[in-house]
């Protein structure tokens, strides 16, 4: 069965309401998270009622546009395309590859245009850009597939199963990059694809963009972060680790490299949050990956790392649902996640546990949540099929059920 484009309603419906809106539509996301496909779907929607010569689509990663590298060249190209006063729909894919592209977009928006741009870097949503464009922007962020989307993609492409447990295991194994859900890949081939996605993102969106002078240091840092998903990490600890492995680095350089990785959505930080004091702490964040499968770019799936993978999956599900996500601290106890809605009106407390093998495991996961005296939802998310309990306001729930819940 051939591949077909699968619509992601969550993102398409958000953007459709802004078609013909004067704001510049900005779509960001990790490399290969589906931005180009979304742009093509929007283009197809518009082309149903707009002449083809009034739709301009440029993918700056395409060989046909390799010579368009700065705003002057982009202006020249568009000048030959925009030849009358009727509205033009302009799609600029991976715009960050064009130097000073903001100048072109700023000039375009003053014409009769409807503009859509994508990029693999958070900087295209910066305050400076909003100021340059007079505040006339609206931003959308794409993540890789949720588990629900993963099931839908595989079903529509004829490679899914009716067994949700098998689908979950496949999701854990190959991750949420859309490319991996439109046809059947064995585990080895899937890992090769993820490794290529990872390498390209690191090269284009970090090393080249920021003119990294120490690429080997970046590689060592990435390997360390990927191998320590779900662990509390300080800049000093990273510096000491690299030094012990013969790679000296100063804290400022490491902090900058981490910021570059975050800007490219390759990693995401979870700061520490004092549950009782209701305040952020300034030390020892945890780091998670833009898709849990990126871990497999540096090593195969290992039993001793599955806890971090599960945490990563839960973390990204919370991000997809619009929460700000923190690591909870309460006295000497840690709570894996405190998720707070962006308006601050609602919280969720979450522990993630592979399985309940001993009474000590149960106590470690449940007791910190029992000690929180408020009425917000509290979950222990697990892969343990023999555990599904609600005790003292704390709900034990299987990972698949947590990921597929309509409301958390």
The tens digit of pLDDT for each residue in 123-182 reads 776 666 777 777 788 999 999 999 999 999 999 888 988 899 999 999 999 999 999 998
Cα angle 326, 241, 261; round to 5: 50
Q: Give the residue, 363 or 43, on which the prediction is more confident.
A: 43
Once rounded to an integer, what is the mean pLDDT over residues 51-76?
A: 95
Which CATH entry fits the domain spanning 9-142: 3.50.50.60, 3.30.70.2750, 3.40.50.300, 3.30.499.10? 3.40.50.300
Q: What is the mean pLDDT of residues 185-204?
A: 94
Look at the block and give the residue holding tokens 């033009």.
88
For residues 177-196, give the mean pLDDT.
93
In 61-205, where do the E strands start and end? Answer: 88-93, 113-119, 137-142
Q: What is the pLDDT of residues 359-406, one digit of tens each?
A: 888 888 998 999 998 999 999 999 998 776 788 889 999 999 999 998
The two tokens of residue 319 are 């991000």
* Other CB atoms within 10 A of residue 268 CB: 19
DSSP 322: T
Residue 30 banded pLDDT, cuts 50, 70, 90: very high
Tokens of 8: 């992601």
Positive or negative, the CA dihedral 78, 81, 84, 90 is negative
Compute how many other C-beta atoms are within 10 angstroms of the C-beta atom of residue 25.
21
At residue 46, what are phi and psi to the nearest 5 degrees? -70, -35
Q: For 264-322, what is each residue's pLDDT tens digit?
A: 999 999 999 999 888 888 888 999 999 999 999 887 777 778 999 999 999 999 999 99
pTM metric for this prediction = 0.93
The Cα–Cα gap between 309 and 97 comes to 32
Q: Percent of the chain scored above 70 by pLDDT?
A: 98
Q: What is the pLDDT of residue 4?
A: 60
d(CA 64, CA 52): 19
The residues, any chain, with a CB within 8 Å of residue 85's CB and separated by 6 or more, are: 112
CB 326 within 8 A of CB 270: yes
Q: How far apart are CA 88 and CA 7, in angstroms?
A: 24
- Rounded average pLDDT over 2-13: 79
Exposure string (b/e) for 174-209, b if CB count within 10 Å is 16 or more? bbbbbbbbbeebeeeebbebbeebbeebbebbbbeb
Share of the chain above pLDDT 90, in %: 72
pLDDT given for residue 300 in this prediction = 74
Segment 255-265 mean pLDDT: 97
**pLDDT at 3 exceeding the cut of 60:** no
Q: In the chain, what are the domain boundaries?
A: 9-142, 148-404
Q: Which pLDDT score is estimated for 1?
A: 41
Question: Of 292 and 247, which is predicted with more confidence?
Answer: 292
| Whole-number pLDDT of residue 128 | 62
Tokens of 10: 């969550």
Cα dist from 265 to 53, 89, 198, 342, whole Å: 35, 28, 11, 19
Per residue in 95-124, pLDDT (tens digit) is: 989 998 988 998 888 789 999 999 998 877
pLDDT at 283: 81
What the block records as the tokens of 172 is 């854990």
């Amino acid at each position: 069965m051939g591949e077909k484009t699968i619509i992601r309603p969550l993102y398409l419906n958000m953007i459709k309401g802004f078609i013909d809106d004067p704001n510049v539509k900005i779509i960001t996301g990790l490399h290969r998270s589906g931005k180009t496909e979304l742009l093509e779907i929007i283009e197809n929607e518009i082309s149903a009622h707009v002449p083809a010569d009034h739709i301009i689509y440029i993918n700056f990663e395409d060989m046909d546009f390799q010579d368009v590298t700065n705003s002057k060249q982009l202006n020249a190209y568009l000048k030959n395309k925009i030849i009358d006063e009727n509205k033009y729909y302009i799609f600029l894919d991976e715009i960050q590859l064009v130097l000073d592209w903001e100048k072109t977009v700023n000039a375009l928006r003053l014409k009769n245009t409807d503009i859509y741009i994508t990029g693999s870097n958070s900087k295209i949503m910066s305050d400076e850009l909003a100021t340059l464009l007079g505040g006339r922007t609206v931003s959308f962020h794409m993540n890789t597939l949720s588990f629900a989307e993963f099931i839908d993609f595989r079903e529509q492409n004829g490679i899914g199963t009716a067994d949700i447990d098998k689908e979950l295991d496949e999701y854990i194994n190959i991750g949420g990059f859309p490319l991996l859900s439109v046809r059947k890949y064995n585990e080895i081939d899937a890992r090769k694809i993820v490794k290529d996605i990872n390498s390209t993102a690191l090269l284009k969106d970090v090393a080249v963009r920021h003119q990294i002078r120490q690429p080997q240091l970046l590689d060592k840092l990435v390997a360390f972060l990927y191998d320590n998903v779900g662990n509390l990490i300080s800049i000093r600890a990273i510096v000491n680790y690299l030094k012990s492995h013969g790679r000296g680095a100063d804290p400022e350089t490491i902090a900058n490299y981490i910021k570059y990785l975050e800007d490219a959505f390759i990693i995401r930080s979870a700061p520490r949050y004092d549950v009782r004091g209701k305040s952020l702490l300034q030390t020892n964040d945890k780091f998670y990956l833009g898709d849990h499968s990126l871990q497999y770019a540096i090593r195969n799936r290992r039993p001793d790392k599955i806890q971090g993978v599960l945490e990563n999956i839960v973390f990204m599900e919370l991000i997809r649902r619009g929460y700000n996500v923190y690591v909870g601290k309460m006295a000497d106890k840690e709570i894996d996640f405190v998720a707070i809605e962006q308006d601050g009106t609602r919280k969720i407390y979450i522990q993630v546990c592979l399985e309940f093998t001993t009474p000590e495991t149960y106590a470690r996961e449940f007791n910190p949540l029992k000690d929180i005296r408020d009425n917000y939802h509290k979950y222990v998310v697990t892969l343990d099929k023999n555990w599904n309990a609600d005790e003292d306001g704390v709900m034990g729930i299987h990972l698949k059920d947590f990921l597929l819940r309509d409301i958390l």
